[in-house]
Structure formats: structure tokens, C-alpha cells
Amino acid sequence: MRVQSSNPLRLCTDVPVSLPAAMYLFQYAITLPLTAAETDRGHHYMVARASLEDSTSAEGIEPIVNVGIRHEDRDARLTFKRIHLPKGKVTKIMPARARFVNEFCINASTHVVNKLSSPFLKSKLTFELHTRLIDGDRGQDRDTANPFNLSEASTVQRYTVDIASHHGDDIDPSKQTFTTPELAQRVPVSTKGWESTCTPCVTVYKLVKFELKVMGLGRVAKNSVQKAMFNNFVTYHAKLYCWADSWYSQTRDSILAFEAAELDKLSLFWENVYAEGTKERPSIPDAIWALLPGDERERLQAQRGEEAEIEAEAEAETEPIPQQ
């Protein structure tokens, strides 16, 4: 059973948007020799595989909800996960509730929106990531492109992400070769000016909205966020591309099945972590319960031993994402 979401979260808008002056905006453009549909399939595969590989020693991504819903007349995936920060000198002295962030996402293939929230920082932190996949876009107008329909008054810092610049983790797009015939025939991303001639082609546009209302830390955090997001987009889109032989021949349904299987492995990993008693199991906020289809809500309640009326965490850490 699937339900139509009444949540005001918006995937896109036709109305130019003005944002608070204190809000930092970063726009990234990543061009790939793929179609939007292929990139969507590859993204699901990459996220599932990378999440499992990146989660060790009670660090990394903990999946809590992953289910299909109907949203804005589109089929979409609703996910809710907890991201546990890596251990280090800084996180070691941080309060327990500052050592993780929660991520709420609605993925409608070519339109995706993510929101991070922190039970520790509460309303002091605003972090949203909006994604659009545009088929046939070669990224040649990245300096002026406005795929998110921001108002002219909005100050946006624009960056170009070249996946061929990534080297490491046994992933090197500049040297990648493919055994899948359809992929082998495409222009390698190591070829100078490949974006101008490659068919098919898609540009993934990402818009980060960031604000930290902590005296003296806003600008410092802004620079860290900009750099971290750039590195993140280079690394994981390079993996999406280099792993294409593994996902290209699969249908979207088979990839979603693979994703579910990988997430089950992750869930088992975290069940073992909680059995050790070193971490507290996260609750599911009301905003997520409200979006869940009835059968999935019942399954989760039975699994977690929770009643239908679940109170949100005291900080109301997951609020509806405001209109873009």
C-alpha cells in the first residue's frame, strides 16, 4: 500500500525564491556520460554499497526508514537515517547528542531533497541539499545556470565538479575502462572536452543551503562545509561512474532490491552495536511516521515495539523541509 503525502516538503517550485541574507548558498554541477535514468539507478546502487563499506566500528550510516511513497504526483523513496560522525580528538570530547546528525530525504529520481538536523544544535543549524538531474545538459553554462529558480537577489557560489580529478580508494575515473559494451562505446571522462561531444550526457546540479547560528562560527563552518561537500560530490560520483559495470544492466527494481538487502546488512550491524549497550537506539520523529504508508508503519511499530502515537524527540529534530 502506498499513500499520498500531505507534507509541505517541496521538490521543486516555479516561483523565484529569496532567502535570508545569512543563508549561504553553494551550487555544484557534476556532468556525467550517462542519462538521468541511468544516473538515478547508479545513485541507488552507489549509496547502498558505499554506506555498507563506510560503516565500521559504530561509525557511518545507520538506515532507519527506506520506503516507497507517492509525493507531489511522483513515485519517490522516503529515507530517514542517522549519520554517526567518525571518532577523533574533537568528537571524543563532544556530548553524545553532538556526535551524530539525522538525515531526512525524499528522492523522486530527477528531483531529490535532503535535510540534515542535529538534536544538539537544534534550530541553530540549517542544512538542506537539493538535487536536480537534467538530461542532455552538458554543464556548459554552469556559471549562470539557475536550475533551482533562485531569485536574482540570491548570492550563489558556483563550483564545477570534475570526477576525473578523483584519485584514491581504488577509484580512478581517468583510468576507468568498462566491459559493458554500451558503456565501453562512450567517450572516457579522461578525454579533454568530453562533455562537448559525449552522448548521452546529464548534469547533476546540487544546491546546498547552509546556516549556523553560533556566534563566531558561521563563516568558519561555511568554508568547511563548502570544501567537505565538494570532496563528497567528487568521491561519490566517481564511485557511481566507476561501478557502472555492476549496476548498468540491472533494472531500477532490481537495484532497489539490492539496496534493501545492503540496508538489511547495515541494520544487522547496528543491532549488534545496540546489543553492546554503547549507543542509544534512535526514535522515529512524528514527521517521518506521518509520511509512512500504513503497512510500513505497522511493520516498523511491530519491529521496534512502539505504539502508534510516537512522540517526536524533544528537540523536534526533523521538521518539514520548507519550500525551496
- The structure's pTM equals 0.83
Q: Do residues 65 and 79 lie in contact, with contact meaning Cβ atoms separated by under 8 Å?
A: yes
Phi first, then psi, for residue 103 (nearest 5°) are -120, 130
In a domain, residue 233? The reply is yes
In a domain, residue 174? The reply is yes
In a domain, residue 317? The reply is no
What confidence score (pLDDT) does residue 218 get? 77
In a domain, residue 207? The reply is yes
Task: Give the integer Cα–Cα distance in Å for 199 and 208.
Answer: 28
In a domain, residue 128? The reply is yes
What confidence score (pLDDT) does residue 314 get? 38
Residue 207's domain comprises 24-304
CATH code of residue 255: 3.30.530.20
What confidence score (pLDDT) does residue 206 get? 95
What confidence score (pLDDT) does residue 241 get? 96
Question: 19-76: per-residue pLDDT in tens?
Answer: 555 688 999 999 999 999 999 999 999 999 998 887 766 678 888 888 888 888 888 9
Question: 196-208: per-residue pLDDT in tens?
Answer: 888 899 999 999 9
In a domain, residue 322? The reply is no
| Positions of the chain with pLDDT under 50 | 1-8, 12-18, 307-324
Structural domain count, the chain? 1
In a domain, residue 126? The reply is yes
Cβ burial 169-201 (10 Å sphere, 16+ → b, else e): eebebeebebeeeebeebebbeeeebbeebeeb
Surface-to-core class of residue 323, CB atoms within 10 Å of its CB (0-12 exposed, 13-18 middle, 19+ buried): exposed
In a domain, residue 50? The reply is yes
